[in-house]
Amino acid sequence: MSETAPFLKGCNGCGACTAVCPPALFINFSPRRLVESLLEPDEEVLNELLTRLVWACSLCFACSSVCPLGTDPARLVLYLRRLAYERGKAQQAVKACSQLLGGES
């Protein structure tokens, strides 16, 4: 996933992004975890990212605005959502999001 390199460059794991992330308050999601998952990729982790984690993001861009090193987790989420769509994972993800929001399965 060399396409993700520009988004990962410079992340030092400080957690500033997670501290301002609204979904991180309610579910097991954080921009930092997303970045860390891509630093050590395997197919199972990538599947989890594309079917569940990237859809938990509210795209408020708070994470990107507070990063002291200029890493852009929100744009990474947009890239990964596009990748999920291209790989046919978006339908599963939309269903998972519906379940997270209390919709029917």
Tell me how far the alpha carbon of residue 44 is from its chain's centroid: 15
CATH classification of 2-100 is 1.10.260.40, yes or no? Answer: no
Whether residue 79 contacts residue 3, with contact meaning beta carbons closer than 8 Å, is answered with yes
What average pLDDT does range 20-28 have in this prediction?
89
pLDDT in tens, 32-81: 888 777 777 678 888 888 888 888 899 999 999 999 988 888 988 898 88
pTM of the model: 0.75
CA–CA dist 14, 32 (Å, integer): 8
CA–CA dist 62, 19 (Å, integer): 10
> Quick check: 21 pLDDT over 90?
yes
Sketch the domain layout of the chain as residue ranges: 2-100
